[in-house]
Structure 1
């Protein structure tokens, strides 16, 4: 796998005008290390050593990671029992705390990775209250952890105030959405829906919502997939911002690609969110988020998911008034020097 991944990572770094930050998460260990889905405690040190070896091998290729979570979706497999179709390791907040505090955290510090940002949870939003309460009750864990990683799935049935509560209780920890994708598990129909504007709207709605609840970034699971939504060894086919048609030697930029671009292209790294305040009729049900960059450039993203045009009026106490017509089912970005 590394023979295929590493050249593409290096090519992306070479093409990007901005620094490409890499983060990773393990999925599963060999079965002989586990019992009932959990790693046997006798193997905690071996598993930590394995993760260090992973970082070391990429470092030999000139690739250094910005962030790491101790496990991808440590809680979700418990909901499926023996039917869970993917590689996994089960953790509880208590076992994860022990692993990080006594094994992984010291291993990172002792092997030159003390500056790597360790992100906890890396699972769905509805797990945040229980896991964060138990994880961050440990002052020892806080010495190693830098943030909270959250997955998008299930956001439609959980309250975003969960994120604000976490921020209020842990103001020194960042929140990063580390995985999202559309697929048959969320919506009826084919995995890939070419030209789906609704899927772009769903992404934009979610990003606006979570940015307004202290989230600092949002990541799509896949950069590019084929026409069937793969390849995927477990047949977990899903949609992607870029779809590759190998037969025609073509690729298609989906509406989700451009939806993501309203944020990734225009909101600069290092920006901070700023509040948009309005009366009941001020934004007429429009979805909005605003950010200010280190160079004082202000970016406002506006989405209208309604079937009629709306007018959005923004008043900056220093620069004045901006008023735009927002057509039905449209996404807009406003940029100006603050």
Structure 2
């Protein structure tokens, strides 16, 4: 009996005297690297074990207890041009393979797609020619102004959205109009430019119903729309392609008295976003709308073409209960160096937006051809996430594919951003996925020389040297 008791006491004593590392084993970090010289493209690296010894190196500290926004998804826009190329320039097998690369966990697992409500500067017909349209180009009777409403012109877009949802059934959708039906605008009917006919109050009632019919029609197609912005780039209009201006006071009025109540009365769950334009000069517009329609809006949306992601921080401070959403950015022939583009995308878009409260990161065209088209009057040298050669059907994954992949492949909707320290030469953002018990850290070195640092996970450390103009994503599980 005494021997058994002595053995038990010895086990208990050893348990309390054992070093912490035997009680809580160090985690193993997996990592994926993309380098500016394109020698590594979202390439999985050898797994590394966190160590107990702390080095005299710049340190990135992670704090899972300090949480910020919950992420909703990452992706791009299924424009008419993108859908045309995907449906008409690829074989079924080529398209299926590409969709695996885009939407499943064997690829970069995009979780959000934006599409245009009616035509945009990237809308074409089934032959690839420019096509401007809305869902109600022809005005109906006074009793039924929208009697000719139809989403049929979106058939190719809907086909590709459905295919994407087959690849990722959890895929979410956002809709954005570039223009209202021309007959709802002031003055001569036009797709390109102008603004709603504010002199007739029924204009707003009809336009709200237009949105409701669109939401219901897409839902009937098996494409429920999760998020809706009221107007793309409302502070800009042009005669070159479908567009429309909408001032902040008008947008607030439309949401407050027409669109918000209409969505609520229709028992739809689609969230409304305000603004949907550049970071620059966004504060007054966003504040005007949010102050007036807080009950009906989920937040505000932003583009990258002017200003910087820190501008959205002001709006978050004014309305911390409202979401920040990043919804558009495009690369193009004006900047073709892979390393420069990767660094800019990491600093400004992937890391910059999420560190400034963005719940989504969406780029512009999912796919364009070798000429940056086909277009409908817009940018003539933009670049898609992928390039589909219209002559050979070859597919090129652009820098945007890898930049998105560094976050979309690893940070699933529902994960929360957590605290991570920034270093002078290393930009970081971190997330924690409670459903997996997993921490994700994205780090980017935009400089021209390698940078050595160490990660801190509790009492454990991992040292790494990141090449110049490169990005790496680390993931590790909680200790068992």
Q: What is the aligned partner in structure 2 of residue 8 from structure 1?
A: 160
Alignment of 1:224-263 (within 5 A): 224-237=367-380, 238-263=382-407
Give distance in 1, aligned partners of 2:309 and 2:367. Answer: 28
Matched position secondary structure for 2:453: strand
Give distance in 2, aligned partners of 1:97 and 1:246. Answer: 43
Task: Say if 1:143 and 1:235 are closer, same or farther in 2 by CA, change over 3 A.
Answer: closer
Q: What is the aligned partner in structure 2 of residue 303 from structure 1?
A: 444
Runs of 4+ deviating beyond 4 Å? none
Q: What is the aligned partner in structure 1 of residue 54 from structure 2?
A: none
Deviates more, 1:94-103 or 1:159-168: 159-168
Q: Is the Cα–Cα contact under 8 Å of residues 302 and 333 in structure 1 kept in the other structure?
A: yes
Give distance in 1, aligned partners of 2:343 and 2:360. Answer: 17
Deviation at 1:236, TM superposition (A): 1.8
Q: What runs of 5+ residues in structure 2 fail to find an aligned partner?
A: 1-152, 188-193
Q: Does residue 135 of the first structure (1) align with residue 276 of the second (2)?
A: no
Count, aligned residues:
314
Deviation at 1:29, TM superposition (A): 2.0
Matched position secondary structure for 1:178: strand
The Cα offsets for residues 181-235 of structure 1, whole Å up to 9 and x where unpaired, read as: 0136xx36xxxx4x73322322222221111111111101111110001111105
Matched position secondary structure for 2:372: coil
Deviation at 1:162, TM superposition (A): 2.2
Q: What is the aligned partner in structure 1 of residue 476 from structure 2?
A: 336
Q: What is the aligned partner in structure 1 of residue 428 from structure 2?
A: 288
Q: Is the Cα–Cα contact under 8 Å of residues 215 and 224 in structure 2 kept in the other structure?
A: yes
Q: What is the aligned partner in structure 2 of residue 90 from structure 1?
A: 245
Q: What is the aligned partner in structure 2 of residue 69 from structure 1?
A: 229
Q: What is the aligned partner in structure 1 of residue 124 from structure 2?
A: none
Matched position secondary structure for 1:89: strand
2:338 to 170, 187, 196: 196
1:26 to 167, 177, 184: 177
Task: Say if 1:91 and 1:249 are closer, same or farther in 2 by CA, change over 3 A.
Answer: closer
Alignment of 1:93-108 (within 5 A): 93-108=248-263
The Cα offsets for residues 211-264 of structure 1, whole Å up to 9 and x where unpaired, read as: 111111110111111000111110523101200113222111112211110000
Task: Say if 1:248 and 1:220 are closer, same or farther in 2 by CA, change over 3 A.
Answer: same
Q: What is the aligned partner in structure 1 of residue 272 from structure 2?
A: 118
Q: TM-score, normalised by structure 1?
A: 0.88
The Cα offsets for residues 301-337 of structure 1, whole Å up to 9 and x where unpaired, read as: 111121211112121225x112111112211111112
Q: What is the aligned partner in structure 1 of residue 212 from structure 2?
A: 52
Task: Say if 1:85 and 1:329 are closer, same or farther in 2 by CA, change over 3 A.
Answer: same
Q: TM-score, normalised by structure 2?
A: 0.63
Q: What is the aligned partner in structure 2 of residue 80 from structure 1?
A: none
Q: RMSD of aligned C-alpha atoms?
A: 1.8
Q: Is the Cα–Cα contact under 8 Å of residues 241 and 376 in structure 2 kept in the other structure?
A: no
Q: Does residue 205 of the first structure (1) align with residue 347 of the second (2)?
A: yes
Give distance in 1, aligned partners of 2:310 and 2:389. Answer: 40
